[in-house]
Structure 1
């Protein structure tokens, strides 16, 4: 029962808020669980200091299939503590913002414990809050950004995750197959998403009000992904850099006069050591290539509008391509739909359906990968009783987990939750 403590926290919050009429904490009409701190939070925001704190938890139960079904559910959770300092308000530094964030993960993984074959790990994970950074704390961001407003240019440097700015996607699902920057899922050896951070910088140029382009240069250091190096800021084991480039079109009125987001980009990595370049295609004695690369196309488009703001039907898609010489996954496809505000009484709730295919490079010689591709499907409902509480029951179905026939297709029952403090 102990491991369910964080998963049950949102339920406790839901009960508590129905029994209190506090002006601040637990206010069902408030923005944060802990309220406005007797007005201090609003006062600090006006002065240029904002805080971002939340706990997210993913519970998963392997109901059928996989390697060993019927075991107890597992819970993976993440605590996020962040702050944003508007230095223009605080110190008169025109267009300068400083951000800092730390994260802490804990828990178990149904994918690792029960679902996947030991020789062919599931390519996705049924719990997005399990993965790099698990069981340890990390410095997930420490950055400074300067916005040159008249020139339409912004420059950001510091400790960053690549998915903070590139290949950005919404995260309204529990499976990693539909959550955040997909490049970090399928080419994760060189692309490290949050909570992992690395030294790097990004320059962004606003070409028109609806179009911008950006380029980044990030240290590639395999030590950044290790559990014990979440706070290590040295570059002793750095091996080249990862360079992402992206063009983004964000029309305010496109399909049916509704907004969308269209991203196309690519990455180039310069690691010199073969073991850093190669995914499982690497074999002892392999000779390093002079590059590793990949690319993506990411789309989010509102299709219908049935009320104010985002209410209506939304579509999304994400396609990735990867270097077949060095990478285990050579391509992936993700498509889905979300209906926001299905009920007028719940304008922020989301009904979501996503389908994902991940193809294993046919140059990989491991005989365990005998199904060529893994497929992930998730149907969920994100319930927002307040702005600071989310509950997301979901059903997932994984076909050929790990792109192998060695284990059965898996039916997973899940429950995601998030409390914003």
Structure 2
């Protein structure tokens, strides 16, 4: 099975320059000091959830695996680095043959996480593991933020479908990643064709106000669209007068009109009026789609409205106010020497303030109560308690440099729904609060 069968990119260019310069200067200094080959363990975690959030969602794992596989330094890249004086010749020679040959473990994509959760663990020599810091954080921080926002919107929407429509509100490459993360978090479709092509996400789209304004009359625009796309299309009815547009839409498409879209105004009031009008015109099966700067709170406020689907853009691709998860990538253990089998010892930052961390290679498990509902995120560095052995969260992602965890995107999506359903009911409250599970260290 190739990557296209899994909805993954067919080809990805080198990701070696998706990094900060200090990764390479650290590498160069470690090579010179003789410490570059020390076995090291890095972990990705966040010290806190974004303010008011009750759980996080792991997004972007599949993209991390692609990035690690394609982290290669070809001659063009090395030439650029040498020209800038960033590398000396020994470091350039070392990078020419670079392949990540270590191991990566992590929470599987779609899983939920909490403060301190070791969502990803990277093991290998210091040299090879430190190089991956920036690209891993870049992907996980962005995609997890979008996936978390998508999850909250999915909870607010209930059984009503969600359409991702944020491509025009962010960077063109971020838009593709956001559509992917939104799908993991519970969205059903995307308007972004690049995301549909790359990740096999279902795509949607019909027309904008410009199409209506192009024509001499609204009726002409509706007629052209129905003639082209059929009566099952979605007609945009808020360019001029909504009531008149709905009447014209049903006259043009007939009572079998697929849907109407409302993109402005008091959506709650307009949706009720449009539903009543559609029913009076005999279009009882015509759906109502609403857009217009929605977030999870706006979606929740429409729960009692006769709305059939939501389209979300800006708030989704920007993490609904939290565009990053503040994940960090920290060295937590390293060997004292280069010899194979040298024992690891815990290391950790001990500065003043809130930026301290806990040393040691960690495991994580989720303890359940008698009803099968999660009650704590348990993290430790010693033996795993017997009662938590089958509740461990980290799974192998890369083994000896080889990716071992390819999966269809739908698997991550389904995993998230299952993980969220296992949380206490308060996890789905949109009101601000603390993490729904405590983090316990043993």
What TM-score results when the alignment is normalised by the length of structure 1? Answer: 0.23
Give the number of the structure with larger relative contact order, counting CA–CA contacts within 8 Å between residues 6 or more apart: 2
Larger Rg over CA atoms: 2
Which is richer in helix? 2
